[in-house]
Structure 1
C-alpha cells in the first residue's frame, strides 16, 4: 500500500488532497504544526498524524523518526505547507517580510525534502509533489487575461518561482526519485479568502500525480488543465 505524507494537511487544499488519497486507498499521514488540529483532521479522514513544523529542524527530524519507526519507508511526499505572508506593495517590502515567507515556502520545502530522502529511497517508486503557484510564473503574471496578473504578491509569488526551480533541479539531479510541481490555481480556501474555484478542483493536479504509481513522470509543472507555462 502507498504511504503518503502531506505537510500542512490539516485544512484547506492539503486536507482535500489527503481526503482524496485516503479514498484512493493510500495510507496517508497528515503533517501539521498544531497537534490538536492535526489529530482532529487525521481522525476525520482516517489518516495518521505526525507533528511537523517545516520551519524547525528538530520537528522535521522527529517526524522522520516517527515514520521510520511506524512505516519504515515513504512512497510519496507532498510539500503542501505554505504561507501568504503580508500583502505589501513591492516597493514597501522589507527583507524580513520576504524572509518570513521563504522560511516556510522555500527553506521549509528544502528542509523536509532533504530530511525525508532516505525514507523515500526505501520505496519502490518514490515521488515528491511540490505545490507551486501560477503567481510564480513569469508568463502568467504578465498576461492581463489571467488572474495571476492581478495580484502583486512579491514575496509569495517569488517564493513559488523558487519552488518550481527547486523542483526541476531536484528532478535533473536525483534520478531515483520523481519530482513534480503542481499548481492548484486560485482555490476557494481560507488561504485565498474563499475566492476561486472549488477545493476539489484545486486538489486535482496533486491527486493525479500522486496516483500515477510507477508511471509517475519527473520534472513536470502542471495544473489541472495540463502543462503550466513559465
Structure 2
C-alpha cells in the first residue's frame, strides 16, 4: 500500500484530498498543526469506513514538530511515496506593497515557503526509499508572475504583497528541487487547485472543494512517466492546465 503525508489536511482541500487518496488505496497520514483537530478529521474518515488514515501532528513552522512527525512516520513506514505540501495561510486581507507590515510577510512566508522547505527536507530520506516518489507543492495562480504582468489575465488586478509572492517563491523552489532530482524517479510539481470556495477565502470562488482536491490528487498519483518541474493550475484550462511561471 502506497503512503502519503498531507500537511494541513484536517479541513478543506487537504481533508478532501486525504479522503480521495484513502479511497484509492493509499495509507494517508493526515497532517494537522492542532493534534485534536487532526484526530477529529481522521475519525470522520474512519466513520466512512476509511480506516487507512492516521492523524499526525505537524506544525510546518516548527522544526521540532516536523522532526517529531518525521520520526513518528519513520518508525511505522520504511518509505514515503507521496508528500503533499498543502498547509498554507493567506495573511491579512490588506496587503498593499506600500504599507504592509513586514511581519505579516514574514508570517506568510514562514508557512507557505520556509515551512514547505523544512518539511520537504525532513521527509526526503523517506521519499528517496520509494520506487516512484511524488512531491506536490500546493501553490496558487497568484504566484504566476506572467499572469500578474498580463492586463488581460483575471489574476492581474488581484495583487497581494505577502501571499502571492510567497507562492512565487514556492514555485521557484519547486523548479530548483525538480531540477536537482531530474535524474531520479521523483516527480515534483507546483499545483494550483484554483479559486475554491473554502474558509480560506470566506467561501468565495467557483470551484467546489471536491473538484479542486481531485485536481491536486491527479498529480499526487503520477506514475513514473508523469511530468516533473511543471506548474499546473485548475484555473488555467488551456494547454492541459499548464500554467506559465
TM-score class, shorter:
over 0.9
C-alpha distance in structure 2 between counterparts of 1:194 and 1:147, whole Å: 19
- Is residue 228 of structure 1 aligned with residue 235 of structure 2? no
C-alpha distance in structure 1 between counterparts of 2:196 and 2:154, whole Å: 12
What SS class does the counterpart of residue 224 from structure 2 fall into? helix
Which of 88, 110, 123 is matched with 1:116 structurally?
123
TM-score by length of 1: 0.95
- Is residue 218 of structure 1 aligned with residue 228 of structure 2? yes
Deviates more, 1:82-91 or 1:147-156: 147-156
Which of 62, 85, 97 is matched with 1:79 structurally?
85
TM-score by length of 2: 0.90
Gaps of 5+ in 1: none
Structure 1 stretches of 4+ moved >3 Å:
142-147
What SS class does the counterpart of residue 79 from structure 2 fall into? coil
C-alpha distance in structure 2 between counterparts of 1:144 and 1:36, whole Å: 45
Contact 1:4 1:27 in 2 (8 A): yes
C-alpha distance in structure 1 between counterparts of 2:156 and 2:25, whole Å: 38
Counterpart position of 2:133 = 126
C-alpha distance in structure 2 between counterparts of 1:124 and 1:97, whole Å: 40
What SS class does the counterpart of residue 54 from structure 1 fall into? coil
Deviates more, 1:101-110 or 1:201-210: 201-210
C-alpha distance in structure 2 between counterparts of 1:200 and 1:139, whole Å: 28
- Is residue 49 of structure 1 aligned with residue 59 of structure 2? no
C-alpha distance in structure 2 between counterparts of 1:50 and 1:216, whole Å: 28
Count of residues in Structure 1 that have an aligned counterpart in Structure 2: 230
Deviates more, 1:170-179 or 1:110-119: 170-179
CA-based RMSD: 1.3
Gaps of 5+ in 2: none
Deviation sequence 1:15-40 (CA, Å, 0-9, x none): 11111111111111111111111111
Counterpart position of 2:191 = 182
Deviation of the 1:44 alpha carbon: 1.5
C-alpha distance in structure 2 between counterparts of 1:168 and 1:104, whole Å: 19
Could you say which structure has the higher helix fraction? Answer: 1
What SS class does the counterpart of residue 82 from structure 1 fall into? coil
